[in-house]
Every structure is written in structure tokens, then in C-alpha cells.
Amino acid sequence: MANKEFEFTQELTEAPEAIFLGENNFTVDPSQIILETSDRHKLTFNLIQWLAESPNRTIKSQRKQAVANTLAISTRQVERLLKQHYEDTLSETAGVQRSDKGKYRVSEYWQEFIKTIYQKSIKDKHPISPASVVREVKRHAIVDLGLKPGDYPHQATVYRILDPLIEQHKRKTKVRNPGSGSWMTVVTRDGELLRADFSNQIIQCDHTKLDIRIVDIHGDLLSERPWLTTIVDTYSSCVVGFRLWIKQPGSTEVALALRHAILPKNYPDDYELNKVWQICGPPFQYFFTDGGKDFRSKHLKAIGKKLGFQCELRDRPPEGGIVERIFKTINTQVLKDLPGYTGANVQERPENAEKEACLTIQDLDKILASFFCDIYNHEPYPKEPRDTRFERWFNGMGGKLPEPLDERELDICLMKEAQRVVQAHGSIQFENLIYRGESLKAYRGEFVTLRYDPDHILTLYIYSSETDENAEDFVGYAHAVNMDTHDLSLEELKALNKERSKARKEHFNSIP
């Protein structure tokens, strides 16, 4: 590392604001960084985030020492800050959060007593004022409990406990249902009211476990029902994209579904779509989801930072009504007549759902793609039936389609694997398969980084490894050699490897 260290002097505090500190900026030398802000806390947060995004252990170790030198602290302190970052307790603007921040310094008994009084008045449809709650606290403490002044909560403490409850009640009163009235509105967990004024401004995402049983490529019944992830535009309620999964999706699957939504949809002829699925593009301002762990990941925040949108969480479940409603529509208009449909509840459950199941996840993908593209997006928009959902989306885009993003810009949405060394003839070994690409021949003996779509594992996206001098660049594609199938998912490949391993063991055990 260059022998340079930041000193937090008057010169630094007057430094101009400039570009973001991203994972592609100066691999191990932060002394060259143009700061996003001159604030010490902001700098610390950015440097620790930069350290957390290290592509491998070697780079991480080098970055750790660089951060320690820059902040003039020990590497042990850097490790503590990194741990706080992973635990979401490292603040971007005010240093490390107090361990009791956001908690009331009053017993659980009094907290529950104060909340119960107010919530009961709401339930009885006669909300009482904060002053009335203070009087009741005082009466209960002196008359019922025999306490003296100072032994029960001060009125300021009562007000602090009541403030979020009163604000929540005001929001519910003001916005009884998401999107009620002329404007489509949603409320974030921080209490911010977001209004959708144009298409792709607020994109929503959610998962559901579909009420249908499916089989694998061999016709064997899968043990679990498939999962569906949908990406929906708040302004028009159009489905912008979707993905199906065999197992419960996580943050990586959310990123892949978002990638599908952003890119133009070019389905093969065997999907037999009657219309062109023209709806695409990134969220312009907000990616709106529930509070699940998969939606709170650093991966999604990194995608948002790169593409220029902000990840926001719902205040309460009804705020996701637009995307939730689609799941019910799928049951009633698509799945109900398909073999293997299990019913939305026990009363509707067909007797032979498992026996009748014959669709694969690829079959279901074709059915849903046809429904979203040809039917759902071209149905009348519920609030203004004169326009279809697509027409409202198109008008909300200013009467023109968005400029498509370069697919390479969205490789951040793909899974990132450990590095591999390029072998002879431009080949790479990954998951017991040999991959080869013409563009890799020039990298023989060097490390490269692999990215891939787990649903299409026979093609890898190859990037040069990040170094001190250069950020990683897209090198080209590598394709699996000698595979007799046109496509394969990562799960299917792992199952195939397991079968091969089992067959080899049985063979060697049979040799006398």
C-alpha cells in the first residue's frame, strides 16, 4: 500500500463532495479515494462497507490494513466495526449506535400499561389524549400501587412511548387502504408516505408458495410446492417480471427476479406468447418490500446503490396489497384448472392432487409467462377501466419504452462464486463440469471470477480478477463441455453429481 494516510484536518473537512466509494474503487489503497462526504462517521461507514464487499480473503486482509491506516486505528478495532456492520448496528451518520438506543428507560410493566390504555381507547373507537393517559398513569401509581412522585413514569416519558402509537393511528386513519382515492400511495416502515406519480417509480416485490404440486424432469413428485417471486409496478399494477423456484427464495433469488424484471423479455418460440412483453426497466426511486430477511440483505442495497434506487420496507402487510392480490388471481384464473392443484385451503383441496401432478417447473413457467404477458397486463386497470394495465404503464413512462440497460451492468444481480484458475485450452472446472471459452485462452494460469444464473448453470459469466491497479472486467462466456442437455439448473446439476458419485461408489464396492 502507498505510504499515505488521511489526517482529519481542516483541509479534509473542506474537501468537496464527489463520487461513491464502491467495490470497484481502488482495491486496497483508500488514500486515493475521493470522499462521498467529509463527515468522519460517513467515511468510517463507507470504508467498512468497502471492506465488507471484498471479493476474496487476500483482498479483504489488505483492505483491512488499509482501513486501519486510513482511520489511524488498530486492525482489531476495524474488525469490531466490521462486525457491527454485519449486525446492522454501525450508523452511517453518527458512529456506533448506543446499545439501548430506541429503548425506554422505564420498566416493561409501565410500558405495557401505557400502551394498553391507549390501544384500548382506539379499539373502543374513542381515542384518548396523551394528557389523559398521563393522568391515568398518575392515578394508578398513587391510588392503586401506593407509589410516591418520582417512582412512576414522568409525563415526558409517557409522551415518548405514545408518540409512535399516535403517529401509527394517524397514518391508518389517513390512508385506510394503500392506494385509496385518486393516488396510489404506500407507507414505509419509517412512516414516510410514498405516492406513485409515474411508472417504475415504486416497484414492489413479494414471494408466495404456489398451491400446486409439480414433478421433476424424470416425472417424480417433488417434495415441496414451488415458490413464485413477482415484481410489480405500483403505478399501473403491471407485472414487470417473475421467477419460479423449487425451494424458498432468499436474497439471491430476489436479485435474479429483479434482473428478469429490468431486462427486456426475449422468450423462445416454445413459450408461444401472443404479445410482446414490453414492460421492463429498473425501479426509478424505490424497491418496496416486506421486512423479510431476504429483502433486508446488503446484496439488494448494493444493487440499489449501483442502479440508483432505494430499498424501502412496508409499514404493515396491507401496504403490499397490489402484489398480494396477484397471488389470489393466479389461484382463481390459472392454477385452479391445472393438474396437481392443491387448493387455497383445506376445504378446496382435491383428493388426488399428488397423483395428478404432471407439470414440471419449466411447464409452469411457460403457463405463468403466457398469463402475465398475454392476459393480466392487458386487462383493464381497476381504478380506470378505460385503460389497460399496460396502457397505463406506457403512458406513465411518457409514451415511450425505457432505454434497455446493458446486461453486463446487471451482473451484480447474479451469484458470485469463488475464483478459479484458467487451465489449458481456456477451460475451467466448476461443480464437476468442464467449461470452455475462446476468450479465456489469454488468461491461462490466471485467476478469474465466475458469476452464473442458478437456473441456467451450463453458461458461466467470466470476469477478470480485481487487482490493485484494475477493477474486474467482463471477459466472456464459458460453456459446459460434452453436456447432452440444452439446459440445467444448479440444483439439477448437484443432484446429477450426487447420482454419479453414488454410482461410482457402488461400482468400486462391487469389485472383488
Give 133-185 as a 3 state SS string. HHHHHHHHHHHHCCCCCCCCCCHHHHHHHHHHHHHHHHHHHHCCCCCCCCCEE
- Greater confidence, 224 or 453? 224
**How confident is the model at residue 403, as a pLDDT?**
87
Pairing relationship of beta strands 415-416 and 380-381 according to DSSP bridges: unpaired
C-alpha cell at position 230: 413477482
Instruction: Give the end-to-end CA distance of the chain in Å, rounded to a whole number.
Output: 60
pLDDT in tens, 15-59: 333 334 444 445 555 554 444 445 677 788 888 888 887 767 778
Please check the confidence at residue 502 and state whether its pLDDT lies above 70: yes
Most trustworthy range by pLDDT among 23-27, 189-193, 271-275: 271-275
Which residues is 286 bridged to in the sheet? 202, 310
Full-model pTM: 0.60
Mean local confidence (pLDDT), 63-81? 88
**How confident is the model at residue 435, as a pLDDT?**
92
In whole angstroms, give the CA distance from residue 59 to residue 41. 23
How many CB atoms sit inside 10 A of residue 67's CB?
A: 22
Residues 62, 1 contacting (CB under 8 angstroms): yes
Please check the confidence at residue 331 and state whether its pLDDT lies above 50: yes
Q: Assign 437 to helix, strand or coil.
A: coil
Residues 158, 137 contacting (CB under 8 angstroms): yes
E strand intervals along 246-394: 286-289, 310-313, 380-381, 384-388
Residue with cell 471470477: 449
In b/e form, how buried is each residue of 279-296, taking b as 16+ CB within 10 angstroms?
A: bbbbbbbbbbbbeeebbe
**How confident is the model at residue 182, as a pLDDT?**
41
Most trustworthy range by pLDDT among 100-109, 158-167, 491-500: 158-167
Residue with cell 440497460: 405
**How confident is the model at residue 53, as a pLDDT?**
75
How many CB atoms sit inside 10 A of residue 423's CB?
A: 14
In whole angstroms, give the CA distance from residue 96 to residue 108. 25
C-alpha cell at position 85: 456492520
Please check the confidence at residue 11 and state whether its pLDDT lies above 50: no
Residue 35: half-sphere exposure toward Cβ, Cα within 13 Å: 21
Angle at 268 between CA 262 and CA 274, to 5 degrees: 85
Q: Assign 212 to helix, strand or coil.
A: strand
Angle at 184 between CA 179 and CA 190, to 5 degrees: 85
Residues 249, 210 contacting (CB under 8 angstroms): no
CATH label, 414-495, candidates 3.40.630, 2.30.30, 3.30.70, 2.50.20: 2.30.30
pLDDT in tens, 371-416: 999 999 999 998 888 899 999 999 999 888 988 888 887 887 777 6
Enumerate the domain spans of the chain.
10-86, 108-174, 184-407, 414-495
Mean local confidence (pLDDT), 127-139? 88
- The CATH number of domain 184-407 is 3.30.420.10: yes
Mean local confidence (pLDDT), 80-97? 71
